[in-house]
Amino acid sequence: MREVLLGMAAAGAYVPLWSDRITEEWAGVAARTDAAGTGGPGGQGAEALARGDIALANARHPGARIAPAPEIEARVWLPDPGDLHVLACAIAGRAQGIITLNLRDFPRRTLGEHGLEVMHPDSFLCALAARDPDMALRVALAVQGEAERLSGAAWPLRKLLKKARLPRFAACLERLGP
């Protein structure tokens, strides 16, 4: 999922924003997964790989990093206080929305008060694909090619996108494709 989202950003479909705290959570999830022996190649080095991916994402999207905004964080509300930094980052970065799997903790009404919308990555990518189907297909095929290169196995695009929790995006590409 992350590769498709970052690929769409690299292709110019949208401008991503994140804070160091958001990328630290990404690395932390990788570390916990790695410690459980269920992540990364053979369960080894998932945090190190995540940190490499973060450095690459920061280099490819130099304007994406948003400084911490504790003054904003102090005045906003979300059902899960642990997500306040995400909302503060979006407000500080003048984002249009928050793309997350965690829709429940980002109520539409609350985000609307700040001029933001919340979207599931699958819906967001479908919207981008509708705007530029050729670009979306190019990005998806590039991700597929990299997945096949890394795994040494064939990955049908629909199956790969379903594994990435993007089944609607896969369907959108099929509908929009030649």
pLDDT, tens digit, for every residue of 52-74? 999 999 999 999 999 999 999 99
Domain-wise residue ranges, the chain: 14-120, 124-176
Mean pLDDT by 10 residues, the chain (178 residues): 95 95 87 59 69 92 93 96 96 96 95 96 96 95 94 95 96 81
Residue 29 is predicted with a pLDDT of 82
Phi–psi pair at 119, nearest 5 degrees: -140, 145
* pTM of the predicted model as reported, rounded to 2 decimal places: 0.87
Residue 159 corresponds to which tokens in the numbers above? 């199956």
pLDDT, tens digit, for every residue of 156-169? 999 999 999 999 99
Please say whether the beta carbons of 146 and 122 come within 8 A.
no
Provide the pairing of β-strand 97-99 with 117-119: parallel
How many other β-carbons are positioned within 10 Å of the β-carbon of residue 30? 21
Long-range CB pairs of 55-64, under 8 A, 24+ apart, other chains included: 57/6, 57/16, 57/18, 57/23, 58/23, 60/6, 60/10, 61/6, 61/9, 61/10, 61/15, 61/16, 63/15, 64/9, 64/15, 64/16, 64/17, 64/18
How many other β-carbons are positioned within 10 Å of the β-carbon of residue 59? 8
